[in-house]
Amino acid sequence: MVDEQVLYLSIRELALRIRERKLSPVELAKAYLERSERIGSKLNAYATLTRDLAFNQARAAEREIASGHYRGPLHGIPYAPKDLVAVEGYPTTWGAPPFAEQRFDYNATIIEKLNAAGAVMIGKAAMIELAGGLGYTNGAASLTGPARNPWQPDCWTCGSSSGSGAVVAAGLAAFSIGSDTRGSIICPTAWCGVSGMRPSFGRVSRHGAMAIAWSMDKLGPMARTADDCGLILSVIAGHDPKDHDSLPPGLADFPYTSASGQAPPLRIGKLTNAWPPNPALESVIDDVVRVLEKDGAKVADTRVPDGPFEDAAELTILMEAAASFRNMIHSGSCARLRDPLGQINGYVSEEFSSSDYLDVQRIRNILQRRVDKLFDDFDVLVAAGSDSTAQPLVERPRPRRRPALVPEEQVNQKEPDGISSLCGLPALCVPCGFSKENLPYGLQFLARATNDHAVVAAAARYQSLTDWHQKHPRIS
């Protein structure tokens, strides 16, 4: 019998118990599966549970560890990948009705890497249909229904890695894999009160993962701590010639054993114009700054440089998605999507021209250089993970991908997700407080492209000074 508190332990702590044979991978998988079956359906957290696969992998891990063959910190650790990565023989629905029966006869590269590390797949996490690739207007835009937030089930988890957030927050698995094209890991991480990382563009292979926008898609870990994110990234990172945008060998690797021993970032830039004014949120971030300064960090205010970051990010996604989902658009199967925007958005996006696309990409280069200069003065930047806590499902919360018809004056060109996604920067979000409604606030660290170690080290340092990440929702 595995105690519920064990299910909320970090990978670091679980791995130690497994390695020392104080915790059975089979018993751990059984406990997570039981909890996933009991709670997961209430939260619409999963697309599929992979019970047989989980037990086969857990038994194999137990045998290997008993015989002295310990593979590393993910050996015997249960997880749930977002349902857009191919898992051989199992449904891979992309969260969308037209693909409800879809199966692949191969594993995505990220799954092969996790298999090689001895991780145990509990199930595939639910998601927004097509990860919002053709647009969506609310959290119900999913084959499996709206993912409910474990902290308050009337609230959404945010998306599009909606199930991945719910799985980790509810203690249904030790970690999950999400995808992030423009904020789809960071926002669910913030709203669900977990720790999640968008790696630098090209660090993690996307071979076998559904494509929305080739020049912006990333896969990344969602877990209990920044340190856990580092452990997972060390396994899933690496050059893959099957992914055209994979970073070169050497640069793609992420060697990591521990955040401890690394010097804390001394220069931190606090972004003051990233989000619209929000006194409650600003108060929380001010508290964060006080903690970091007390620890010796030099924190200074800084501003996102001018530029159409948000428009460039959104247009890039719209145009690339019109190409990646061309078959759906031409066949008309997009009409079977749940969301009314997704049903027609592809038709409209075909009206962009090639020069529109190239102009956006020319501006993108310039914006990349502007943002990069910020890191001449700072090791990391900090900002809120989202401009709010989790929003009620019934009020049709604003999705991370901007829907059509947002009034012009409300377009925020300085949202950190748009900037870092457009420029391929690493970001890591961790919980940093709670609202009076007991909903978590998120804090994100951003760093220069390929400097993923900086965000892991900074976030791990913050978590060594606080205990927000150790708080969990009460789930009946």
Partner 1 sequence: MEAKYANVIRKYGDRLSPAQRTRARETLVSHQRMLMRIRDFALENGDAPATGLRLYPSDAAERHD
Residues noted as catalytic? 82, 160, 184
Q: Which of 56, 102, 115, 343 binds partner 1 (CB under 8 A)?
A: 343
Terminal Cα-to-Cα distance of the chain (whole angstroms):
19
Q: Which of 364, 400, 448, 472 binds partner 1 (CB under 8 A)?
A: 364
Smallest distance, partner 1 to C-beta of residue 366, A: 7
Q: Residue 163: CA atoms inside 13 Å, Cβ hemisphere, count?
A: 36
- Site for partner 1 contains 425 (CB under 8 A): no
- Site for partner 1 contains 63 (CB under 8 A): no
Q: Which of 141, 170, 360, 390 binds partner 1 (CB under 8 A)?
A: 360
Nearer to partner 1, 394 or 404 (CB): 404
Binding mask 375-414 for partner 1 (x = CB under 8 A): -----------------------------xxx-x------
Q: Which of 307, 397, 416, 418 binds partner 1 (CB under 8 A)?
A: 307
In 284-390 the beta strands, taken as DSSP E runs, fall at 298-302, 380-384
Smallest distance, partner 1 to C-beta of residue 141, A: 15
Segment contacting partner 1 by CB under 8 A, of 57-65, 226-234, 286-294, 362-370: 362-370
Measured CA to CA, the distance from residue 443 to residue 441 in angstroms comes to 7
- Site for partner 1 contains 333 (CB under 8 A): no
Question: What is the DSSP code (8-state) at residue 40?
Answer: I
Q: Per residue in 290-314, is it b (16+ CB within 10 Å) or e — as a string?
A: eebeeeebebeebebeebbbbbbbb
Give the distance, in angstroms, between the CA of residue 176 and the centroid of all CA atoms in the same chain: 9
- Site for partner 1 contains 368 (CB under 8 A): yes
Smallest distance, partner 1 to C-beta of residue 202, A: 11
Measured CA to CA, the distance from residue 198 to residue 414 in angstroms comes to 18
Nearer to partner 1, 93 or 349 (CB): 349
Smallest distance, partner 1 to C-beta of residue 360, A: 6
- Site for partner 1 contains 215 (CB under 8 A): yes
The backbone torsions φ and ψ at residue 323, rounded to the nearest 5 degrees and listed phi first, read -80, -45
- Site for partner 1 contains 242 (CB under 8 A): yes
The backbone torsions φ and ψ at residue 456, rounded to the nearest 5 degrees and listed phi first, read -65, -45
Q: What is the DSSP string of 416-463?
A: HHHHHHHHT--EEEEEEEE-TTS-EEEEEEE-STT-HHHHHHHHHHHH
Is residue 158 within 8 A of residue 181, CB to CB? The reply is: no
Smallest distance, partner 1 to C-beta of residue 419, A: 14
Strands 195-198 and 267-271: unpaired
Q: Which of 62, 314, 379, 415 binds partner 1 (CB under 8 A)?
A: 314
- Site for partner 1 contains 369 (CB under 8 A): no
Nearer to partner 1, 100 or 344 (CB): 344
Strands 267-271 and 380-384: parallel
Segment contacting partner 1 by CB under 8 A, of 80-88, 174-182, 237-245, 453-461: 237-245
Instruction: Return the H-helix or E-strand segment holding 285.
Output: helix 279-294
Nearer to partner 1, 228 or 310 (CB): 310
User: CA angle, 278 as apex, 276 and 282 as ends, to 5°?
Assistant: 110
Nearer to partner 1, 35 or 113 (CB): 113
Strands 218-223 and 298-302: unpaired
Segment contacting partner 1 by CB under 8 A, of 100-108, 309-317, 443-451, 462-470: 309-317
Contacts of partner 1 in 177-196 (CB under 8 A): none
- Site for partner 1 contains 323 (CB under 8 A): no
The backbone torsions φ and ψ at residue 182, rounded to the nearest 5 degrees and listed phi first, read -155, 70
- Site for partner 1 contains 341 (CB under 8 A): yes
Is residue 163 within 8 A of residue 136, CB to CB? The reply is: no
Least Cα distance to 292 among 465, 159, 418, 37 occurs for 465
Smallest distance, partner 1 to C-beta of residue 105, A: 17
Residues that bind partner 1 (CB under 8 A): 215, 241-242, 244, 307-308, 311-312, 314-315, 318, 332, 335, 340-341, 343-345, 347-352, 356, 358-366, 368, 404-406, 408
